[in-house]
Amino acid sequence: MTYDLAWHVRVKGDLAKLGRDDAARVVAAIKEHLVRDPLAYARPLMGMFKGLYRYRRGDYRVMFAVDHEARLVRILHIKHRKNAYR
């Protein structure tokens, strides 16, 4: 059973900043990995990001939340690793 994806409005802007090739690679990886089993490829975040998870794809970090009851992965941010946790 797969999870559905929900993209936050600001993710469109995050993807525009990545460049076409990097954005395509990150989106393809999200659709391949996070739809099947989001927690198998993720690590939980701590501190002010507690309750969220991060997925690494090269130099980029995808921050997301998982609703297991609704089988939904909410993509919240896609940022370069140097800016991801600021």
CA 33, 54, 66, 4 torsion-angle sign = negative
**Structural domains of the chain ordered from first start:** 4-80 (3.30.2310.20)
Prediction pTM value: 0.92
CA 39, 86, 30, 2 torsion-angle sign = positive
Helix (H) or strand (E) run with residue 81 in it: none
What confidence tens digit (pLDDT) does each residue in 32-85 have?
Answer: 999 999 999 999 999 999 999 999 999 999 999 999 999 999 999 999 999 998
